Structure 1
Amino acid sequence: MNTYSPYFEFGREDWGSVNDLPHFQITEEEFEQLRGLNEDISIREVSEVYLPLTRLIHLYVNAFQRLHAEMRSLLGSPVAKSPYIIGIAGSVAVGKSTTARLMQTLLSQWDQHSNVALVTTDGFLYPNHILQERGMMDKKGFPESYDIKKLIQFIGNAKCGQPELRAPVYSHTAYDILQGEEQIITEPDILILEGINVLQVNTEAQVFVSDYFDFSIYIDADEANIRKWYVERFQMLRDTAFQNPESYFHRYASLTQAEAIQKAYQIWEQINAVNLQQNILPTKERAKLIVKKGPNHTIEQVCLRK
């Protein structure tokens, strides 16, 4: 362990030896539904990594809830119920969504905070017609492609204890915002916000999305591994979701395997790698906790800020 690091660093075995873990159960069927398309991880990772992590966050949430109760008593006036907000960041194809879904499932099994909401930042992308007008379709996912004001208003409303929250809905099939549709969230105990951009900062802004986080997680992996996972996922989507005639990417369904691999590498190098290197990776050490994955998606190291 690096004495001068701002993080406590745990190997997989040390992290998995945390005491007083909850006895939660996830069946193989439930796990398959939570797991990402091409993430070859086992249910064993739930007990060795995610249960210790959710136990840790449970301690933070309990302390947060006690503090708010004491504030209400001290101030002698109503203090709106504020959810504990968790941000989950990382590259495209690194496994953020699986982590977010597992966290939501496990954290909701505690009686003290059973209402756990999950929102992705995809819904706060500008609609395609705006991106097209601005010549930014090839920058989709970059910081400038998000309606940051709307996202900050949403997360600010949550932190202020607004009882009903409404978030835009994004369709990966249409590759666009679904106009007129909303995700409605009512009085969450915990709100998980997942997206590649949640830890990014804009030096011209005075308020950042991460200012509202109580805990933040960065999912990390070597770029070569993430690129490999992205290409594998693209090939799987070519045989599944892209076959849908309504899919924005239906034009890729007829590609041969070699053509699909070539196209996936091209998209990665021209868009996703640039976004990762310029905008996402530099935010890693802003996270409270960093989860490092190895070549087969298995988590090998956990770093917790001191």
Structure 2
Amino acid sequence: MELCELSRRATALVPADGRRRAILGICGPPGAGKTTLAEDLVRSLTDSHGERWAVQVPMDGFHLADVQLRQLGLADRKGAPESFDPDGYTALLGRLASGSGAVVYAPGFERDLEQPLAAAIAVPSETRLVVTEGNYLLLEDPQWAAARSWMREVWYVDADAALRRERLIARHVQFGKTPEDAREWVLRSDEANARLVEATRHRADVVVGQSCSAASASEG
């Protein structure tokens, strides 16, 4: 599938009654291109349906803040499943799915600070599709499975492992790490998380292979 076909598939997830919302999950290992695909998809959908029809809500807004990670002894595992708040994420998805009519404010993630940012994203009442992306949407752990239960589909983004690692190293350098520290972090922490995520690939509804803004996909 190209992006236009993925947009049609995403549109078809939304109930025809015009009142209820659908939630689409985009999953994949660190550096695979989840955010890029989510941004491209939301842009395509808003071009077709209107500015607020689709909104992107990242799982990264539920990163634990550094102060909590230090208290929990998880500072060197930032980005691992245990460094998130899956219960809070699940509660937000439930509110979003209900489409109650009120604006829902969701946390974002500030890359410059590497910290979650409360109430950074507004999901207005007219939004029909929420696109949420993150690493752990397909984990079988009960807390993550509860979050998955709110999603109509989850798409998995595949990418070449070497390309993923280079993207991650460049990202860490961009946001303050030395090249040596960035490579160490990627090979130790990010790759451990990637192996965990890659083991969930078979649970996806669609597998998407992404290069820049072009996408191809197969149903899982």
Residue of 192, 199, 206 corresponding to 1:282: 199
- State, as a whole percentage, how many aligned pairs show the same letter: 22
Q: Matched residues in 1 for 2:131 and 2:161: separation?
A: 25
Q: Matched residues in 2 for 1:155 and 1:300: separation?
A: 26
RMSD (CA atoms): 2.4
Amino acid at match of 1:53: L
Amino acid at match of 2:219: L
Counterpart in 1 of 2:83? 145
Q: Matched residues in 2 for 1:298 and 1:147: separation?
A: 30
Q: Residues 170 and 206 (structure 1 numbering): CA distance in 2 closer, same or farther, change over 3 Å?
A: closer
2:106 pairs with 1:167: yes
| Partner-residue secondary structure (3-state), 2:200 | helix
Q: Residues 130 and 189 (structure 1 numbering): CA distance in 2 closer, same or farther, change over 3 Å?
A: same
Q: Residues 196 and 84 (structure 1 numbering): CA distance in 2 closer, same or farther, change over 3 Å?
A: same
2:51 pairs with 1:51: no
Deviation at 1:100, TM superposition (A): 0.5
Q: Residues 93 and 301 (structure 1 numbering): CA distance in 2 closer, same or farther, change over 3 Å?
A: same
Deviations 1:250-272 (A, max 9, x none): xx3xx5xxxx1x32221111100
Q: Residues 264 and 51 (structure 1 numbering): CA distance in 2 closer, same or farther, change over 3 Å?
A: same
Counterpart in 1 of 2:218? 303
Structure 1 residues without counterparts, runs of 5 or longer: 1-14, 16-48, 70-80, 243-248
Q: Matched residues in 2 for 1:124 and 1:234: separation?
A: 19
Q: Matched residues in 2 for 1:190 and 1:217: separation?
A: 15
| Partner-residue secondary structure (3-state), 2:56 | strand
Deviations 1:55-80 (A, max 9, x none): 2322343xx22xx47xxxxxxxxxxx
1:206-217 to 2 correspondences below 5 Å: 207-217=145-155
Deviation at 1:299, TM superposition (A): 5.8
Amino acid at match of 2:5: P
Q: Matched residues in 1 for 2:215 and 2:104: separation?
A: 36
| Partner-residue secondary structure (3-state), 1:149 | helix
1:58-69 to 2 correspondences below 5 Å: 58-61=11-14, 64-65=15-16, 68=17
Counterpart in 2 of 1:194? 133
Whether the 8 Å contact between 1:201 and 1:208 is mirrored in structure 2 is: no
TM (norm. structure 1) is 0.64
Q: Residues 167 and 59 (structure 1 numbering): CA distance in 2 closer, same or farther, change over 3 Å?
A: closer
Q: Residues 298 and 177 (structure 1 numbering): CA distance in 2 closer, same or farther, change over 3 Å?
A: closer
TM (norm. structure 2) is 0.87
Deviation at 1:297, TM superposition (A): 5.1
Whether the 8 Å contact between 1:113 and 1:190 is mirrored in structure 2 is: no
Deviation at 1:148, TM superposition (A): 1.1
Counterpart in 2 of 1:121? 59
Larger Cα-atom Rg: 1
| Partner-residue secondary structure (3-state), 1:178 | strand
Q: Matched residues in 2 for 1:266 and 1:216: separation?
A: 31
Whether the 8 Å contact between 1:199 and 1:209 is mirrored in structure 2 is: no
Q: Matched residues in 1 for 2:33 and 2:74: separation?
A: 25
Q: Residues 116 and 297 (structure 1 numbering): CA distance in 2 closer, same or farther, change over 3 Å?
A: closer
